[in-house]
A and B are shown apart, each in its own frame.
Chain A
Amino acid sequence: MELADIINPNNLVYEKPKLLTDTTMHYCPGCSHGVVHRLLAEVIEDMDIQDKTIGVAPVGCAVFAYKYLHVDWQEAAHGRAPAVATGISRTNPDKVVFTYQGDGDLASIGAAEILHACNRGENIVVIFINNGIYGMTGGQMAPTTLIGQVTATTPNGRDIGRNGYPLKITELIAQLPGTSYVTRQSVHTPATIRKCKKAIAKAFQAAIDKKGTSFVEVVSTCNMNWKMTPVKANEWMEANMFPFYPPGDLKDSSKNDPASYTPIKN
């Protein structure tokens, strides 16, 4: 068999989504962001909604998310992405709007904005990357840092008396009548990546169908600031993050209770 027979469009089984730009990503090797970006690109491409999708980037490691996905983007202030998305979505109800936020952005400085956007049932998709640490600023404690977890600002481990408890914000959000689909996923194995893609697609469909807010948490690794190899970080995540942040659907209105959300009036 000649090389040309092998490198042939007919044999193509895997390619870069067209919506992913050629810009070299700034993420550390082993980081989960790149995988989630790819899934987003695949979902938006599969659904053919790139001409009406607007992304809202956070402050944090994903601050440059707008460089990598070939759709219109806005860069929000720290924590304010859900308010920015509300402004876009309310004045452009036929558009598909998503925010992409980390745990510091969403669950700490932006706690008010995310809770109220979800409670109003804004027709937006929220992608929430939870790796339990501040990545961009160098590994400080996040609201989701586990008890005992060592970070730059908890050098002896997170102490409840000093730092309070890790915040299960996704559980809070699942209680709000404005949300229709709330799920917790991961992207550390081929199987979980495929599952996460389905969840993201479902979240986008819910927003298109104007069913209220859909919220996809992706429990992720930050091997660099966790100071582990990527493989070790995946193992640590399974052993330590999953017991506290168990993967799975927290709420799915399409299955159980379609009346559990109240559609917004514009």
Chain B
Amino acid sequence: MGELRLMKGNEVIAEAAIRCGCDGYFGYPITPQSEVMETLMDREPWNETGMVVLQAESEIASIHMIYGAAATGKKVLTSSSSPGISLMAEGISYIAGSELPCVIVNVQRGGPGLGTIQPSQADYYQSTKGGGHGDYHLIVLAPSSVQEMNDFVELGFQLAFKYRNPAMILTDGVIGQMMEKVVLADYIPRLTDEEIDQKYGSWVTNGRKPNRERNIVTSLEMDSGRMEQNNLRFQEKYAKMEAEEVLFEEIQCEDAEYILVAFGSSARVCQKAVDLARTKGIKVGLLRPITLYPFPKKPIAALAQRVKGMLVVEMNAGQMIEDVQLAVGCAGCKVPVLHFGRMGGIIPNPDEVVTALEQKLIGG
């Protein structure tokens, strides 16, 4: 077993990046995620693994530094929080359009605008539906514990490189700031330049070798016919993700008459709500999507066939509920799917969730 530590979610992102053989981090300070870069700077990984850490002049610059490094086959990561992710939207679209791998961490805070610094899940749409211009998707992983903050860094890189597509860890101020015990991963060595050439020589722009033609990384295509072909290729990739990469967790769903659907820190609140409801004799289960894109449509549709109702609990005005309703509706189910949310940085408590369940679904 790996090393056991008590750490903050944000610190774990930094530690996991170093240990998974990450080549570089480029970022810009923003609450509530600044500990990621602070931890990295304090750890000085350039002395240990050779990992580069650079504080950029803006989130815009950070994401384009990620683009440059990712296009040389390097394993690179950035992190930010909601307003900063909006600034990165340009670069993320280019990274998706140029088919480059990277991991982006969004430690969400309340919005819109400058919003609050308290936790929120209001960037669900932005993360799962693209976020920048053009038809693209990120692979979106939603950790609900500090342990998953650790695990999803390497998982994010594996998926990002498998599909040559940016992956996002969509978390929030709760998971970023809270301390939990975590089993750290063992060190994975960084790839050498020779290994990068061997694995990714067909696309990396790290200097044209005598044995190959030059590589060009671009998202530009003047011919609309070819651009459509590129888009069709992206769509094939997304379809493959939807077929192969869906992750979710079911808690006490076996005998459930009602289902809570929640991700990330909302799912932690709902875990407690399930226990509370069951002491009151209400048979409730929790479905927790782990990948928000690709979304666990099938397991939700399967549950919808045999329960009386679903309550989607989010720290937003109702975003993921649209995907749940689609999954249920497309399966031909008429089961009610309702929403309970708090906004602007407020975290719902488990009692509120149970009350909402009773009033909206059971009593309604």
Contacts and interface: CB of A to CB of B under 8 A. Distances in A.
Interface stretch (A89-97, A140-148, A173-181): A89-97
A56 B61 contact: no
B71 A113 contact: no
Contacts of B64: 76-77, 80, 83-84, 87, 113
> What range describes how many residues of B lie at the interface?
35 or more
Contacts of A76: 64, 67-68
Contacts, number: 131
Among B26, B208, B215, find the residue whose CB has the most chain A CB atoms closer than 10 A: B208
B217 A90 contact: no
Interface residues of A, number: 33
Main secondary structure of the interface of A (DSSP, over half): mixed
A70 interface: yes
B65 A83 contact: yes
B319 interface: no
Interface in B98-128: 98
Contacts of A66: 216, 218
A73 B214 contact: yes
Contact of B74 (A54, A83, A91, A112): A91
Given A85-B68, A88-B68, A80 B91 contact: yes
A66 B62 CA distance: 23
Given A91-B24, A91-B74, A74 B67 contact: yes
Interface string A76-114: 110010011111111110010000000000000000110
Contacts of B187: none
B61 A116 contact: yes
A54 B69 CA distance: 11
A224 to B, nearest CB: 19
A266 interface: yes
Contacts of B58: 112
B357 interface: no
A101 B92 CA distance: 21
B218 A74 contact: yes
Given A87-B24, A90-B65, A77 B94 contact: yes
B77 to A, nearest CB: 12
Given A70-B208, A73-B218, A112-B57, 17 more contacts: A51-B207, A54-B205, A63-B220, A72-B215, A73-B216, A83-B56, A83-B68, A84-B71, A86-B61, A86-B65, A87-B67, A90-B24, A90-B69, A92-B206, A113-B57, A116-B57, A266-B46
Interface of A: 50-54, 56-57, 63, 66, 70-77, 80, 83-92, 95, 112-113, 116, 266
6 contacts: A70-B214, A74-B218, A75-B216, A83-B68, A87-B65, A95-B72
